[in-house]
Amino acid sequence: MQEYEFELKYAVPAGLTLEMIEHRLFEGGCDDALPGVGQKGRLALAFHRNASSAQRAVNSALRDVGHALPELRLVEVGPDWVGVSEVAGLFEFSRQYMLKLINQNQETFPLPLHEGKAALWHLAEVLAWFVEYQGRTVDASLCDVAAFTRVFNIAREFRGLNDAQRRQAVRLAEAG
């Protein structure tokens, strides 16, 4: 058994009180999660769960929450999409230092999946870069979680496509 830390974020419909949410989560076996309830209509659960793999840890948490509170809708499974501040926090750098690292290593640093006011990367790619190019050791269970959440979120996106779009996406992926 290994400990895995990850976060599930949900949209909460009106009419569910905080007391009800807490009660059902606790009764449903989510006493290994820290509930964040600071934003209206949102519930974030920071899990610290024992399981034999990252996939089993995340899937069992999704199942537990789904049974306890079927009216919630999943927004995001993380850590996957991360910005500069989150990566900096993870390695205990300042935000400024992290920006400098990215700018000085433009040839090798992973390309963002979105750039705009704030850029986003897949955590799994950023962790792999730190291991390969900076010689950092990264917690193995964090790497496992980030690899799985990435696949999970891509699979969810894929599920949102219709049949024709799915076939098109597979063709594009295989064409490289």
Partner 1 sequence: MSRDRHSKKEVEAALAYAESMGWRIEKATGHAWGRLYCPFNNRQCRCGEFCVISIWSTPKNPGNFARQIRRVVDNCRGEAEVN
> Per rule CB under 8 A, is residue 46 in the interface with partner 1?
yes
- What tokens does 159 get? 């599920």
In Å, what is the CA distance from 33 to each residue of 7, 19, 128? 9, 16, 27
> Per rule CB under 8 A, is residue 139 in the interface with partner 1?
no
Distance of CA 3 to the CA centre of its chain: 16
3 vs 132, beta carbon nearer partner 1 = 3
- What tokens does 48 get? 């610290």
Mapping DSSP to helix (H, G, I), strand (E, B) and coil, where does residue 17 land?
A: coil
- Indicate which single residue of 1, 11, 13, 39 sits in contact with partner 1 (rule: CB under 8 A): 39
Q: For residues 7 and 15, what is the distance between their CA atoms, to the nearest angstrom? A: 24
> Per rule CB under 8 A, is residue 32 in the interface with partner 1?
yes
> Per rule CB under 8 A, is residue 27 in the interface with partner 1?
yes
Residues that bind partner 1 (CB under 8 A): 3, 9, 18-19, 22-23, 25-27, 31-32, 34-39, 42-44, 46, 48, 85, 89, 95
